[in-house]
Amino acid sequence: MEDQNTRILAIETSCDETAAAVIADGTSILSNVVASQVELHARYGGVFPEVASRR
């Protein structure tokens, strides 16, 4: 059985960013979204765990 409509949901997360993507047939990106706290942590010169845990 061949599936012509394979979809992959990819999720990546770290303490300051989360991303999700939907990929069709392993070659086409249907959606790609990133939520970031980089600006929030910039004033600390890097990730500040106490702040990251609140968001």
pLDDT tens readout for residues 18-41:
999 999 998 999 999 999 888 888
Residue 50 within any structural domain of the chain: yes
pTM of the shown model:
0.69
Residue 2 within any structural domain of the chain: no
Residue 44 within any structural domain of the chain: yes
With a pLDDT cut of 90, the percent of the chain lying above it is: 44
Q: Work out the angle at residue 20's Cα, subtended by the Cα atoms of residues 7 and 5, and round it to the nearest 5 degrees.
A: 5
Segments forming the whole domain that contains residue 39 = 7-54
CA dihedral sign of residues 51, 52, 53, 55:
positive
Residue 1 within any structural domain of the chain: no
SS3 17: strand
Q: How many structural domains does the chain have? A: 1
Q: Work out the angle at residue 36's Cα, subtended by the Cα atoms of residues 31 and 14, and round it to the nearest 5 degrees.
A: 90
